[in-house]
Structure 1
């Protein structure tokens, strides 16, 4: 895939390195000469330009990109880049970095954002995940807030130990997408047994998260 990243600061460069390792074609767009260091990532294409200017994005050939990542440290810039990418160049997937959690409500389909990534929220979620074994932790919001990636680690005393995935009886707007167990990534099958310590990742809408929590603790949602 061809992926354009607006913002070549520490975050943008880190993303670029990861994508290059995955054999993707990466374009870094940076407007500040202080952050313009092509030698740092020679495998990427670099462009010194303002990603908020339509002419710059036209020169970059944004219409040929499969994904655009707005990764600057300025939320206003990230919103403008997202909107231009989606409305003017019909980029299929737009990912935007949210720097200030108070601005997160803006990063929606109306601004061209498909996936909003809030670093403060993710850090908070990681802390919750580390200390709240057995509780449901929201890791990321997907598709303009319509669904979330949530995680729960089954505690040692889980009533689900030994039960099968099929026994979870998840609501229709939720799916168990993977189980992490002892360094293994398991694609869950109906007959797979659950074990204490399993880290379970679900995609679900917010309305059914309480139901998932009740299922994990083997009780009714109203308890």
Structure 2
């Protein structure tokens, strides 16, 4: 997979390093000469250019990229890069960094963004995920389909503890994608049983989140009364 990253700061370089380790081709783009540090990520391609200019993106051959990541520290730049990548070059997947939470509402398909990553929101979600049991935590918002990646740690008193996955009537537009049990990551089957303390990851429509939380958190005495 070929990935172009606009913004060669600490965030962009870190993303590039991870992608390169996973065997992907990476192009880092930045207009600041001081940001071009080839020795820090020598396996990547580097381009000194303004990612908001069509001529620069032509030079980067953005039409050959499977993914574009707008990772600069400027939300306006990230939005422009996202829009150009999607509308002018037809890049299949555009991921954009949100620096100011007040601007998050702009990072949607209207601006060419498929996935918006807000660092403050992500940090908040990870804190909630670490300390919350029985509460639904939204980890990631997907721009298409109004769906979110959500997590809930199954409380010991949940009526679903000990129930097989296939026996649960999950809400519409909801899919259980992973069960994290201790150090294990499980791909759920119909025969797998849910256990207290399981971290359950779902892709769910936003409108179904409250229904899903109610289903998972219902207490045994409530279920039998």
Q: Which band: TM-score by shorter chain?
A: over 0.9
Structure 1, residues 110-169: CA drift from partner, whole Å, max 9, x if none? 100011111110000011111211110000001347100000011233332211112321
> Does the CA contact (< 8 Å) of 2:154 and 2:217 recur in 1?
no
Q: Structure 1 length as normaliser, TM-score?
A: 0.96
Q: Report the secondary structure of 1:127's partner residue.
A: helix
Matched, 1:167 2:170: no
In 2: Cα distance, 1:215 partner to 1:158 partner: 9
The alignment's C-alpha RMSD in Å is 1.2
Aligned residue-pair number: 220
**Runs of 5+ consecutive residues of structure 1 not aligned to the other structure:** none
> Which residue is equivalent to 1:178?
178
**Structure 2: gaps of 5 or more residues:** none
> What CA deviation, in whole Å up to 9, does each residue of 1:73-119 have, x standing for no partner?
10000000000001110001100000111100101111000111111
Residue 78 of structure 1 contacts residue 97 of structure 1 at CA under 8 Å; is this kept in 2? Answer: yes
**In the TM superposition, what is the alpha-carbon distance from 1:34 to its structure 2 partner?**
1.9
Bigger shift: residues 141-150 or 194-203: 141-150
The structure 1 segments of at least 4 consecutive aligned residues displaced by more than 3 Å after TM superposition are: none
5 Å-filtered alignment, 1:68-107, equals: 68-107=68-107
**What is the CA deviation profile of residues 12-40 of structure 1, one whole-angstrom value per residue up to 9, with x for unaligned ones?**
01100110011000000011122110110
Match of 2:190 in 1: 190
Q: How does 1:144-155 map to 2 (within 5 A)?
A: 144=144, 146-155=146-155
Match of 1:140 in 2: 140
SS of corresponding position for 1:39: coil
CA distance in 2, matches of 1:26, 1:151: 31
Q: Is the 8 A contact 2:155 2:217 kept in 1?
A: no
When the two structures are superposed, what TM-score results if normalisation uses the length of structure 2?
0.95
Partner residue in 2 for 1:5:
5
- Asked whether the 8 Å contact 1:107–1:144 carries over to 2, the reply is no
Residue in 2 that maps onto 1:59 = 59
Instruction: Measure, in 2, the Cα distance between the counterparts of 1:145 and 1:33.
Output: 39
